[in-house]
Amino acid sequence: MREANPPNPSAIDETGSGTAKCYFQMREVTKSFGSKQVLNGVSLDIFKGETLVILGGSGSGKSVTLKILVGLLEADGGQVLFEDRDITHLREKEYYPIRKRVSYLFQGGALFDSMNIYQNLAYPLEEHRRLAPREILPMVRESLKMVELENIEHLYPSDLSGGMMKRVALARAIIDKPEIVLYDEPTTGLDPLTTRAINQLIRKLQRELSITSVVVTHDMSTTFHVADRLCFLDKGELAFSGTLDEASRTTHPVLRAYLSGGQS
């Protein structure tokens, strides 16, 4: 079953670099691993300025979708556009300018255990921008402050709680001022209060830094808190796309179960 409700892009296109209304557009994208078809003709748009939540069951292809957007996986069929330019089959190096503008918050955060928090945050700046330490330190502090953490530069990931680790991973994701952040299950494994704090942070980053966000989750509190728009993946297809209000009127049985909290 497929329901598609086109959003009103004029309501959310405020950041506008160039004339493109969308950062990403996926057109009939297919992806298989061996004989397993994960995406079966998925089309979705990511409008500038919005927070899009991608919801779906385990194994429905949410993470695969994010990875295709940033070129960590290649689509088998269909097209991926970035600001109207076809990026479906770019070479690795050709993705670099896009990855400078798009940050990917991996499931689990992916902090380096052997590095302290300063080193974890400094890493992308040293590696990609070759900045000097005196330029990096204020950026590290500013980024930590944005996620409401201070004076923890000397600590190691093993010293932090799960919620703090997610915040540090978020600080690292925004340190180089991305235009878009892709969040892969940012609240999985967190208690309700910490989940709420991360949800508020996602909103704050969108508001204060004008970051466009794509949030992959099966957490309904995250969905209700952050979504401007919702896409629902089911059996490799985009089964729904629309606002939360439109989703509340959906007839799709699995999405209805999600929205009523019957499944997570």
Ligand X SMILES: Nc1ncnc2c1ncn2[C@@H]1O[C@H](COP(=O)(O)OP(=O)(O)OP(=O)(O)O)[C@@H](O)[C@H]1O
What is the chain's percent helix, strand, coil content, to nearest 5? 40, 25, 35
What does DSSP assign to residue 9? G
**Per CB under 6 A, 60 contacts ligand X:** yes
**Per CB under 6 A, 172 contacts ligand X:** no
x/- track of binding to ligand X for residues 186-225 (CB under 6 A): --------------------------------x-------
Nearer to ligand X, 56 or 157 (CB): 56
* Location of structure tokens 């991996």: 106
CB of 39 to ligand X, least distance (A): 9
**Per CB under 6 A, 56 contacts ligand X:** yes
**Per CB under 6 A, 64 contacts ligand X:** yes
Rule CB under 6 A: choose which of 16, 59, 133, 262 binds ligand X.
59
Interface region with ligand X, contact rule CB under 6 A, candidates 60-68, 76-84, 120-128, 154-162: 60-68
**Tokens for 9?**
């892009």
Q: Could you list the beta-strand ranges (E) of 117-244.
A: 180-184, 212-217, 229-234, 237-242
Residue 50 to residue 206: CA distance in whole angstroms = 8
Nearer to ligand X, 46 or 125 (CB): 46
Nearest C-alpha neighbor of 50 from the set 87, 23, 19, 80: 23
Interface region with ligand X, contact rule CB under 6 A, candidates 61-69, 191-199, 221-229, 244-252: 61-69
Cα dist from 108 to 168, 202, 245, whole Å: 11, 16, 31
**Per CB under 6 A, 35 contacts ligand X:** no
Contacts of 22 (CB under 8 A, 6+ apart): 9, 45, 46, 47, 48, 81, 83, 84
CB of 181 to ligand X, least distance (A): 17
Interface region with ligand X, contact rule CB under 6 A, candidates 12-20, 52-60, 97-105, 120-128: 52-60
Contact footprint for ligand X (CB under 6 A) = 33, 38, 56, 58-64, 218
